[in-house]
Amino acid sequence: MSKKKYVYYFGDGKADGTGKMKDLLGGKGAGLANMVNLKFPVPSGFTITTEACNTYFASKKKYPGGMWDQVLANLKKVEKSMGAKLGDPKNPLLLSVRSGSKFSMPGMMDTVLNLGLNDTTLKALTAKTGNERFALDTYRRLITMFGSTVMGVDRMVFEKVLEAMKKKKGVEEDTDLNVDDLRVLVDKFKVIYRKETGKSFPKDPLQQLKLAINAVFDSWFGDRAVTYRNLNNIAHDLGTGVNVQAMVFGNMGENSGTGVGFTRDPSTGKKKFFAEYLIDAQGEDVVAGIRTPLHINEMKKKVPKAYKELDRIYNKLEKHYKDMQDIEFTVQEGKLYMLQTRVGKRTGAAALKIAIDMVKEGLIDKKEAVMRIDPDQLEQLMHPRIDPNFKYSALAQGLPASPGAAVGKVVFSAQDAEKAASKGEDVILVRPETSPEDIGGMDAAQGILTARGGMTSHAAVVARGMGKCCVAGCTALNIEEKKKSFWVGSTTVKEGDTITLNGTTGEVIIGTVPLVQPEMTGNFNTILKWADEFREMGIRANADTPADARAALKFGAEGIGLVRTEHMFFEGDRIKAFREMILSDDEAGRRKALKKILPMQRSDFAAIFKVMNGKPVTIRLLDPPLHEFLPKTDAELREIARELGVSFKKIKARNTALHEFNPMLGHRGCRLAITYPEIYEMQVQAIIEAACQVAKKGVKAIPEIMIPLIADVKEFTILNEMTVRIATAIEKKNKIKIPYDVGTMIEIARAAFLAHEIAPEADFYSFGTNDLTQTLFGLSRDDAGRFLPYYIEQGIFEVDPFISIDKKGVGALMRLAIDSSRKIKKNMKMGICGEQLDPDSVEFCDEIGLTYVSGSPYRLPVARLAAAQATLKKKGKKKAGSMA
Ligand code: PEP
Ligand code: MG
């Protein structure tokens, strides 16, 4: 028999809830073990490891050798500790069987409570507790949960019968049903079970246990768990642990109950216990949003001693973990039991506040605070909110479950949300309550509105994790799912009507309310300031206008990494002059048109230099394929013919001649300047003259002139010489020295392979990873959208290489280019200015040794944080390495 340990009894000594043990036991198992070690009241139990789960899948759903025996041996220990036995006809032990993986996946996997009940143990439970109502209530819960979770019966079949019973009796809550009602329900549920599964409800508690363990294992690859992991980038090979634990009962009357809570407010981060409680209920009722929970003060009133104990424990837990905890607990006849502790999910705003407060409280240091913030969460804080100057009246008020604001058309199912979103429509998903099956629709919607459930309901937790606006528990809403409408008082809202949600206040508003971008708060800037203290890589912005440059500075840019000069040619009269230039068939004609453009370019550059005073500005010379500028209509062509004083026919013929079959690989970038040098000459003149002009006013311009799309160093050499010649002449004329550099883009695969030939010639280079991806993959960046999503879905590509750097191919080539260049020029300035600025790509850029990253101004906060985390991780690894 295998000696491998697949089952750990809670508090087994070694199970201390950290590092490897968390991987092995899953978050829930590790937390429970840890709470036992801290001597908190935890019902006895054991954890089947994630390794057992993985082996189960690897061996065609067979338990690993010895696992079941270990389960039985540990069950004995639980029985001994609880003084009750599973299936015992006099003193039965009941069990909960719950999942728990390394990363919390709220509600995505399966749970079975009250396991061990059958007709015999039901009687014993009644006799033991003297509470037949409780025993029957527990039994009907088991049949429902076991039926739906383990056997796959639609839960609604049971719920409908329960609802019908409540309606018949004229009562609102399940707790208002009496013993006779429950007895009828149990019988009806057994019939449903048999009808739906073709089998009787299993009497043997050990068989129940085995089936429940299998169901939890199987739920690891359930649809909703897989979707959740895909959405959250969680690996599929981690497996889930299974926690088997003695039941304690929150449904034993008025002095029993169940609750969930966060040690700090997960929406705002305020240091205040944020919990909800349900009297006479089991945990599933809170999480599923079946009943709307009460404020935790109700617990204080009903069971003050248990509340005091909870207060002591949650404070200790937070100090122990040095982080905000998400806890679950149950009170059985006045006695508190802890059922879970884990690091709590929080909004971006709360994450910042908690991290900063914990530094002030001395619990963590600044580095830890910076590491704690998920860079994607920073983006939440840049989400829109309702214009504070706009006056509106709300239709209804729910709970402010996840902050921000959202406007969209109402839909009533997750599928409809996904369908509408795929057509580019903004929708608000309205549900009585959400369940894990709705996850795809929640992701697709702009906001989520539910009629039932509290601040810790599924909708609230998931929406906060997604950084999505959510109003939950809006009880005024009367949803008629079939009719696809809801009404509040005399107002009816139908599918397709527009509503606005205010997730910060919980308001639901009819129609479209104007939204504004949020100001960044003090906490936002504090974390970024700390991040800047640790990061090694520079941060620049891609910016084409003075307004972009100002935004770039606001978001922390240390320079501009890319000015795409062609964007300046589209405005007003410029496009006309530019068209004249490209349609001229001789140099003289081109020079005449370029003369018109020169003063415009010069003033553009001067304005950007003024904003960026003292910071480098990388200006890329003209790059895009010319067809982007060509006139599309005869009317436009006629006007140009008139301007140039040539015939329409001649212009039309020239226009046709300029047509290219594959413009992206055609006459563009430096190739234009090799054939028509006067274009770049004008641009260089404009740059250096602008720098001289602002220098006279005390502004320090630091231009970096960048030549795009080179494939061979000779292209660079020719254009570099031209640049220096023109710049030197202008410097001389103005008697001013401009600290300019000349460099190039590495965006053609050949240039990357030959970067070591370019490095000695160029002052810097910047990877254009948009074109580099295009040329290395051989796929058109303008057309790949048709099939790339399919490739991602099929797992052929892990990520869209235009969104996140393809490390294996494009990344490897970048590394090769950098390494070969640094051998020649150790401190060469190297950047990246493609669109890939996600945290993963930023970390990779740091790893391969880029000097800076550059991207859209609005993405810079995320990049600053990601860069700091990359440095800290690298240093952490080095330190661990040197200690080993
Ligand atoms: C690139 O190719 O990555 C780049 C930054 O240039 P553009 O997107 O303008 O081609
Ligand atoms: Mg490019």
Q: Rounded to the nearest whole angstrom, what is the distance from the C-alpha of residue 340 to the centroid of ligand 1?
A: 49
Is 555 a residue whose pLDDT tops 80?
yes
Q: What is the DSSP string of 385-431?
A: EE-TT-----SEE-EEEE-SEEEEEEESSHHHHHHHHHTT--EEEEE
User: What is the pTM (predicted TM-score) of this model?
Assistant: 0.80
Q: Who's near 347: CB < 8 A, 6+ residues apart?
A: 266, 267, 268, 269, 377, 380, 402, 403, 464, 467
User: Could you tell me the two tokens for 335?
Assistant: 């006695």
CA 846 to chain centre: 22
- Which residues neighbour 334 within 8 Å (Cβ) at sequence distance 6 or greater? 255, 256, 303, 305, 306
Give the pLDDT score at 580.
86
201-227: burial string, b at 16+ Cβ within 10 Å, e else: bbeebeebbebbbbbbbbbbebebbeb
| Residue with CA closest to ligand 1 atom 3 | 768
pLDDT tens by residue, 647-692: 899 889 988 888 888 888 999 999 999 999 999 999 999 999 999 9
Q: Is 775 exposed, middle or buried (0-12, 13-18, 19+ CB in 10 A)?
A: buried
Contacts of 400 (CB under 8 A, 6+ apart): 267, 471, 502, 503, 504, 505, 506
- What integer pLDDT is reported at residue 884 of this predicted model? 45
Residues of 477-512 as b/e, b for ≥16 C-beta within 10 angstroms? bebeeeebbbebeeeebebeebbbbbbbebbbbbee
Helix (H, G, I), strand (E, B) or coil at 543: coil
Q: Is the pLDDT of residue 13 over 70?
A: no
Q: Residue 770 CA: which ligand is closest? A: 1
Residue whose CB lies within 8 A of the most ligand 1 atoms, among 833, 836, 845, for a mutation test:
833
3-state SS class at 220: coil
Q: Return the pLDDT at 686.
A: 98
Q: How remote is the CA of residue 585 from the centroid of ligand 1, in Å?
A: 28
Q: In which residue are the tokens 């023109």 written?
A: 726
Cβ neighbours, 10 Å, residue 741:
15
Smallest CA separation from ligand 1 atom 8, residue: 770
Determine the average pLDDT of the residues in 186-210.
96
Q: Beta strand pairing status for 325-332 and 257-262? A: antiparallel
Q: How far is the CA of 160 from the centre of ligand 2 (A)?
A: 60
pLDDT of residue 440: 86
Closest of 565, 558, 529, 607 to residue 854, by C-alpha = 558
- Candidates 467, 539, 537; CA nearest to 858 is 539
Residue 219's nearest CA partner among 57, 340, 69, 60 is 57
| Res 349: pLDDT | 86
- 197-201, 746-750, 853-857, range with the lowest pLDDT: 853-857
Separation in Å, CA 274 to CA 35, 84, 277, 295, 305: 20, 35, 10, 9, 19
Which of 560, 567, 619, 623 is the best mutation target for the ligand 1 pocket, counting ligand atoms within 8 Å of the beta carbon and taking the most?
623
- Per-residue model confidence (pLDDT) at position 15: 52
Catalytic (active-site) positions: 458, 833
Protein residues with CB under 6 Å of any ligand 1 atom:
562, 564, 623, 747, 768-771, 833-834
332-346, 521-535, 636-650, 827-841, range with the lowest pLDDT = 636-650
Q: Measured from the CA of 562, which atom of ligand 1 is nearest?
A: 5
Mutual angle of helices 812-824 and 769-777, in 10-degree steps:
120
Whose structure tokens read 């990520």? 799
Structure tokens at 187: 């019988």
- CA 562 to ligand 1 center in whole angstroms: 9
Dist. CA 804 → ligand 1 center (Å): 14
Lowest mean pLDDT among 3-17, 740-754, 811-825: 3-17
In this prediction, residue 881 has a pLDDT band, given cuts at 50, 70 and 90, of low
**Ligand 2 center to residue 123 CA distance, Å?**
76
pLDDT of residue 567: 73
Say which ligand is closest to the CA of 769. Answer: 1
Please report, to the nearest 10 degrees, the dihedral formed by the alpha carbons of residues 328, 332, 336, 338 taken in order.
-30
Higher pLDDT, 297 or 627: 297
Ligand 2 geometric centre to CA of 814 (Å): 15
| Nearest alpha carbon, ligand 1 atom 9 | 564
**Nearest residue (CA) to ligand 1, atom 6:** 768
Residue 709 Cα to ligand 2 middle (Å): 7
Tell me how far the alpha carbon of residue 803 lies from the centroid of ligand 1, in angstroms.
13
Instruction: Give the position, in ligand 1's atom list, of the atom nearest the Cα of 768.
Output: 3
**Which atom of ligand 1 lies at the shortest distance from residue 770's CA?**
3
Beta bridge partners of 409: 427, 498
pLDDT for res 290? 61
CA of 564 to the centre of ligand 2 (A): 10
Is residue 16 predicted with pLDDT exceeding 60? no
CB within 8 A of 64, min separation 6: which ones? 2, 4, 6, 51, 52, 55, 56
The confidence score (pLDDT) of residue 404 equals: 86
**Nearest-angstrom CA–CA distance, 325 and 345:** 9
The residue nearest atom 1 of ligand 1, judged by CA position, is 768
Measured distance between the N- and C-terminal CA atoms of the chain, rounded to whole angstroms? 35
CA-closest candidate to residue 680, choices 763, 755, 619, 759: 619
More confident residue, 827 or 155: 827
Strand partners of residue 245? 45, 96
> Residue 564 CA: which ligand 1 atom is closest?
9
DSSP-derived 3-state class of residue 600: helix
Query: For residue range 699-754, what is the model confidence (pLDDT) as tens digits?
Result: 999 999 999 999 999 999 999 999 999 999 999 999 999 999 999 999 999 999 99
Q: Which residue has the higher pLDDT, 556 or 570?
A: 556
Q: How far is the CA of 744 from the centre of ligand 2 (A)?
A: 11
In single-letter form, the type of residue at position 602 comes to R
Distance separating alpha carbons of residues 845 and 321, to the nearest angstrom = 32
pLDDT for position 532: 97
Q: Are strands 447-450 and 427-431 parallel, antiparallel or unpaired?
A: parallel
For the cut 90, the answer to whether the pLDDT of residue 832 exceeds it is: yes
What order do you get walking across the sheet with 7-9 strand by strand?
7-9, 45-48, 240-246, 95-101, 111-115
Among protein residues, the one whose CA lies closest to atom 4 of ligand 1: 768
User: Quick check: 103 and 31 in contact, CB under 8 A?
Assistant: no
